[in-house]
Structure 1
Amino acid sequence: MTSTMPDIARGHIATLMDTLAALRGQSGRIERWGRLLAERLGSGSRLLAAGAGESAADAEHLTAELIALDRGDRNPLSAIALRTTGPDLAGFGYSEKDGEDALARQVTAHARARDVVVLLSPSGRDHTLVLAARAAHRSGATTLAFTGHCPNQLANAVEDAVCLPGTTASVQESMLAAVNLLYEAVELAAPAFEGMPVSRAVE
């Protein structure tokens, strides 16, 4: 029997709802991450974020939200989205095909102890992100990941992970919600750390 668009839509939405239900079950972990980020970034450390494929946009969304965290009299928080493509890397041999270490090199350049590196990959099999996680460990940074069904390579390479079951599409779509939840968790925790210095010490 040939599937119709309503059948496909019902199946997709049902899977997405299952993935979102799993995300809701991870709310306690995301709340802890929010407190960690509020404390670290509020005391002068920074967030580095990167995603595989379409998740790169989610990483940029997270960093933009944290920089814009200026409700009331709060200062913006230091957050940098890392990329494997773009004019800043053009001409230097770094592409998604040839530059598997592009993110790792950026992490090595920017990450310091007490920074936090957040990596996003629906499959958890992106070797570029695994290398970035290893570079973060060498730098003394804390590593977190949003990823798909576990165990997977990325989840095994970081200190803590939110693992979401489902199809690649449902996990990808749920990651934007996960990023928004993390931002909200940071915002909720931020008042507890107000008054802490936000300038980054010269190293």
Structure 2
Amino acid sequence: MKMNKKISEIIKENRLTNQRLQESCIPSIVELIDNARNTLKKKGKVVFFGNGGSAADSQHIAAEFTGKFKTYQRFLPAIALTTNTSALTAISNDFSFDDIFSMQVKSLVNKNDLVIGISTSGNSTNVIKGVLEAKKIGAKTVSFTGAKGGKLAKIADIIIKVPSDDTQRIQEFHIMIGHILCELVN
């Protein structure tokens, strides 16, 4: 019976986070979708990056853009900066782990692109540096964070703060927001 209660509590927490997300984040999600559509109209691409689970989310969402989402769609240009292990390890080894995204942004991003940095805390140094580099280039920047937003909330053009401090809930809703983007950007 204890297990059933714990499972119910987790589901309830998810439901409450969902409700708070609906109350606070829809305008920012609409702005994200509008900017993604504009980026694609200008022949730009959407660039994703983050660490750990956020790296996996970056790859997942980029794959949905370039492949199939629900039905066959236009194949939309997107990339996750977390997939090139040679670049990640070389930059980490030769420079610093803090530079793994900013150096790739310098090489791959142009002013017509939309750059999405994902960090549950909003304080991942390498994600912050990647977003700052994208801003220097003139790309539109977005941050997906948790409730506090961290440093990313102070620098990105569009901030989507999942109203939770629980990493698992934040990650669940980052992927949901990514799926909303994929479905509505088309």
Same fold (TM over 0.5): yes
Amino acid at match of 1:67: T
Looking at both structures, which has the greater relative contact order when contacts are Cα pairs under 8 Å and sequence separation is at least 6? 1
Identity of aligned residues (%): 25
Q: Deviations over 1:123-159 (max 9, x none)?
A: 1121111111110111111100111013411111211
Secondary structure at 1:118 match in 2: strand
Secondary structure (helix, strand or coil) at the match of 2:35 reads helix
Q: Which residue of 1 aligns with 2:132?
A: 134
Residue number in structure 1 paired with 2:67: 68
Contact 1:85 1:94 in 2 (8 A): no
In the alignment, structure 1 segments of 5+ residues that lack a partner are 188-203
Q: Structure 1, residues 159-199: CA drift from partner, whole Å, max 9, x if none?
A: 11111122111111221111101112202xxxxxxxxxxxx
Change (3 A) 1:88 1:102: closer
| 1:54-77 C-alpha deviation (Å, 9 max, x unpaired) | 011111121111112699996422
Alignment of 1:22-61 (within 5 A): 22-25=20-23, 26-61=25-60
CA contact (8 A) 1:16 1:171 kept: no
Match of 1:19 in 2: 17
Give the aligned CA root-mean-square deviation in angstroms: 2.4
2:153 aligns with 155
Contact 1:123–1:148 (8 Å) recurs in 2? yes
The residue type equivalent to 2:26 in the other structure is S
3-state DSSP of counterpart to 2:97? coil
Q: Residue 84 of structure 1 contacts residue 94 of structure 1 at CA under 8 Å; is this kept in 2? A: no
Matches of 1:102 and 1:71, distance apart in 2: 32
Aligned-partner Cα distance in 1 for 2:149–2:174: 18
Q: Distance in 1 between matches of 2:52 and 2:116?
A: 15
User: Equivalents in 2 of 1:124, 1:33: separation in Å?
Assistant: 17
Structure with greater proportional helix content: 2
1: distance between equivalents of 2:73 and 2:5?
A: 48
Alignment of 1:1-203 (within 5 A): 4-25=2-23, 26-68=25-67, 75-83=74-82, 86-90=85-89, 92-94=90-92, 98-166=96-164, 167-187=166-186
> Which stretch has the larger CA shift, 3-12 or 157-166?
3-12
- Normalised to the residue count of structure 2, the TM-score between the two structures is 0.86
Distance 2:84 2:74 in 1: 30
* Closer, same or farther: CA 183–72 of 1 in aligned 2, 3 Å: closer
Unpaired stretches in structure 2, ≥5 consecutive residues: none
Structure 1 pair 141–69 and aligned structure 2 pair: CA distance change class (3 A) = farther
> How many residues are aligned here?
182
Q: Which stretch of structure 1 is more off in the superposition, 126-135 or 79-88?
A: 79-88
Contact 1:12 1:170 in 2 (8 A): no
SS for the counterpart of 1:117 is strand
Largest Rg, 1 or 2? 1
**Corresponding letter in the other structure for 1:138:** K
Give distance in 1, aligned partners of 2:131 and 2:68.
26
